[in-house]
Structure formats: structure tokens, C-alpha cells
Amino acid sequence: MTSFSSEGKALLDDKIARACHESKIPSVIFGVSSVAEELYFGAAGLRDLGKPSSGNVDESSILWLCSMTKLVTTIAILQLIEQKKISLDAVVSEIIPELKDPVVLDDPFGEESTFKPAKTTITLAHLLNHSSGLFVREKRDPPYTLPTLLTGDYEPTDPVGLFYTRYRENFPAIPLKFEPGSDFAYGLSTCTIGFIIEKISGQSLEEYCQKHICTPLGIKATFYLTPDYKARSVALSFREPSGEFVPWASQVPVIEQVPKKVHLLLGGLGMYASLRDYLALCRHLLQIRAGFAEIPILSVDSVLSLFKPTLNEVAARSVEKFTPGWKDCQWSTGLCLNNTDWPGRRRKGSAFWYGWGGTYFFIDPTTGITAVLGTQIVPTCDADVLRLWEQLEQIVYSHLVVDN
């Protein structure tokens, strides 16, 4: 049985409060759970910077999960694999015809790159570990902005078709950064998985996730920022180049957030939820792996696949180049993995990732704990938030109590 010392809880409370007071981080939400139960959940700061009337963040506050959505979408497709409605080696273009006969660019970021036909077909396995070759070709200024492809307007008639039309640009077919399976390129593969889920399930991604993930677990998460969710949501904040945090004023484009205008459900970054509910989802995965989940939403084998490396050496090096200073990483069927113990922190083989708006999580099956951190800060991977994430994790590991 794993528990957490009262001293550790006091230190976490103090660290979170100090982060808001001394580092001026607008708000912080942090939670830790063992396989059996929640060990700690704390929060500090305002829901909306500079607006005391907005109230303080708490366990029910709603955050835009951004790329932490990918875990939910991955769980959904793994369920469909278990139901034998699709397989890892399924040819994606047979479900999404826009991806038929892609071309590999000789200069992925060149203005008028030459290209050649891809020799390898894109499979679902390639999408799950981001080795499909799909990538963000757009040169973004500033570089931390979301791709226009994800922030553009989409009409209800054929939003997926329009998505790939915009992605294709002037090439004769979908352009790839590299031959499928040969390297790693983060960005668009999980959105494609979301479109596949809708095609083969006959449901919207929202409907599928509600019925097969959220409702069975008793958690709430949605692709629509409804009035209730918006009333409890934590507003984005923006850090100026001077280092000062300022209220959100659409400094950079974000995804469509008006529910009636959301026609393209983005499985890579479109969900909203409380971090307490997200922590419950991560705890459930630990329980499945440990073999005592009451109503498991995945098989043990599917959960184990989330912790098994899948990339070759070249692709693994590309993962490390993409991460904000995290070393020796790999990728599974949906999550980043650390190949070594992080001293004083998560153990080798932990699965983790983060969201563009300042959310983070990890699942450490060796220690049997999972943790979440939530801010809503742009630009992404804020240095102070990353430092806080590391410090909170160190406090957790140094004050765990394991009863044998």
C-alpha cells in the first residue's frame, strides 16, 4: 500500500502557493494518486488572471487539455482494436481515402519541394507512434503558435475532407516528411486517429468517448466548451517577452471554442476536463495494469502497450529533439516514455506527456503512482512551470510511504 506523508502534503501546499506568489504563475493545480486512491490534490491562484471575481481554481476547475487529449483518443482506438474493428496494421487510406498514395518531400520545409511517391503505406501503428510522416509543414511565427490547420474554421459539410485539402496544399497527394515508419514527427497523427474512430464507429468522437470512456469511469470530459464548462474554466494567460504574465487577449490563435461552431473534433488537442477527472483516468490505467480494475475499459495487454517502446533509434532521437530538455525518450502506442530513471523522480518505463496550454501528467507503473499538473499558460513549456513540475515531483517521491 502506497501513501503520502503529512509533511509531504504540507510541502506541496507551500510550493504551489509560493509558485503563484513568488513566480507569479497565475494558477496551479496538482494531483497525485496511487493505484488505489488519490494521495493529494491541491490548487492555488485565480481562474482568470487579474480578475478576483473569477474565484480561485479548485478540483472542479476545467482546463483545456490540449495534447493530453491524445491519451483519450488512443484509449478509444485501442478499444476498437480489441473489438477487432481495426488492427494495428490496417492501411489508413482504406478508411481515410485522402491519405491514399502520399508523397515524401525531398525538402519538407522548402517553398517548392520536389517529391517522390511513398514506398510504404501508412498504417494505424504509424499513427499511434507518430512515425506516419504526417507533420506540420507550416513555418510558424512565433514558433510556439498552433498550426493554422488546427485553428482554422471548418464548415459542417465535410470538415475532415477540408482538413486534408488544406494540409495537401498544392501537392498532388498528402505530403510526408519521411517514409512511414522511418522517423518521428509529432503533430497530426492523433487527429487522424480521431477521424478514423468516427468512421469505423459511426459516432462522433465526442459521442464515442462519452459512451465508452467517460460514462463507464464516472468522469467528465468533452470536446465542447459548454456554458457550464466555460463558467468553471481556467482562462489562458500569456507571458510577455519581458517575463510578465498578462490576461489572455487572443495573442495567438487557438482552436474554435464556440460549441456551435465546432465541426471538426480534434483528437489530438480538443478536450476539456478537470484534472481530478484526468487523474482518475490515469489511476484506472494503473489499476488495469495491476489487475484489479473493477470495470476495465481496456485489456491488460492494451494498457501494457502504452508502456512499450516502438520506435527505431533514428526516430527515438527525434523524440528527444522535440521534447523540452527531456533526455533518452521513446514512444509507445500513444505516449512518451523515459528509458532511464529520472533521479528522485519517475522510474524507467514511465509514460507521460503534456499539453500546449501548460498541462502535464505521468504514469509510473514501477512505483505505482500517477500525477497531473495544470496551468493555462502560453507560450507552451514555460520554464517556470517546467521547473515547478520537477520540484513537485521530487517532493512526491521523497515523501511516499510504501507499506510492504
Chain segment 21-44, per-residue pLDDT in tens:
988 899 999 999 999 999 999 999
Query: What is the count of structural domains for the chain?
Result: 2
Question: 198: left (phi > 0), else alpha (psi -120 to 50), else beta?
Answer: alpha
* Same domain as 186, residue 112: yes
* Same domain as 286, residue 254: yes
pLDDT in the model for residue 22: 87
Q: With respect to residue 127, please indicate whether it lies within any of the assigned structural domains.
A: yes
pLDDT band of 310, cuts 50, 70, 90: very high
Q: What is the pLDDT of residues 86-104, one digit of tens each?
A: 999 999 999 999 999 999 9
pLDDT in the model for residue 50: 85
pLDDT beyond 90 at 19:
yes
* Distance between CA atoms of residues 377 and 22, nearest Å: 16
pLDDT in the model for residue 404: 59
pLDDT beyond 80 at 403:
no
pLDDT band of 3, cuts 50, 70, 90: confident
* Same domain as 108, residue 253: no
* Same domain as 386, residue 279: yes
Q: State which residues form the domain around 397.
A: 2-66+220-402
pLDDT band of 111, cuts 50, 70, 90: confident
* Same domain as 115, residue 43: no
Q: With respect to residue 277, please indicate whether it lies within any of the assigned structural domains.
A: yes
Query: Quick one: what percent of the chain has pLDDT higher than 70?
Result: 100
Alpha helices (H) along 291-371: 300-305, 313-322
Q: With respect to residue 210, please indicate whether it lies within any of the assigned structural domains.
A: no
Q: What is the pLDDT of residues 70-91, one digit of tens each?
A: 999 999 999 999 999 999 999 9
* Same domain as 238, residue 354: yes
Q: What is the mean pLDDT of residues 164-192?
A: 97
Question: 0.75 cut: is pTM over it?
Answer: yes
Q: What is the pLDDT of residues 152-172, one digit of tens each?
A: 999 999 999 999 999 999 999
Q: With respect to residue 214, please indicate whether it lies within any of the assigned structural domains.
A: no
Look at strands 103-105 and 175-176 and give their pairing.
parallel
* Same domain as 303, residue 373: yes
pLDDT beyond 90 at 46:
yes
Average pLDDT along the chain: 96
pLDDT beyond 70 at 261:
yes
Query: Quick one: what percent of the chain has pLDDT higher than 90?
Result: 94
* Same domain as 367, residue 298: yes
* Same domain as 130, residue 41: no
Cα Rg of the chain, angstroms: 21
pLDDT band of 248, cuts 50, 70, 90: very high
* Same domain as 235, residue 149: no
How many helices (H) and strands (E) in the chain?
13, 18
* Distance between CA atoms of residues 190 and 195, nearest Å: 9
Among residues 361, 377, 371, the alpha carbon closest in space to that of 67 is found at: 361
Strand ranges inside 156-276, DSSP E? 175-176, 221-222, 237-239, 245-247, 272-274
Residue 55 grid coordinates = 474565484
pLDDT in the model for residue 1: 75
Q: What is the mean pLDDT of residues 315-321?
A: 96
* Same domain as 62, residue 84: no
pLDDT band of 375, cuts 50, 70, 90: very high
pLDDT in the model for residue 187: 85
* Same domain as 354, residue 247: yes
* Distance between CA atoms of residues 238 and 26, nearest Å: 10
Q: What is the mean pLDDT of residues 122-147?
A: 95
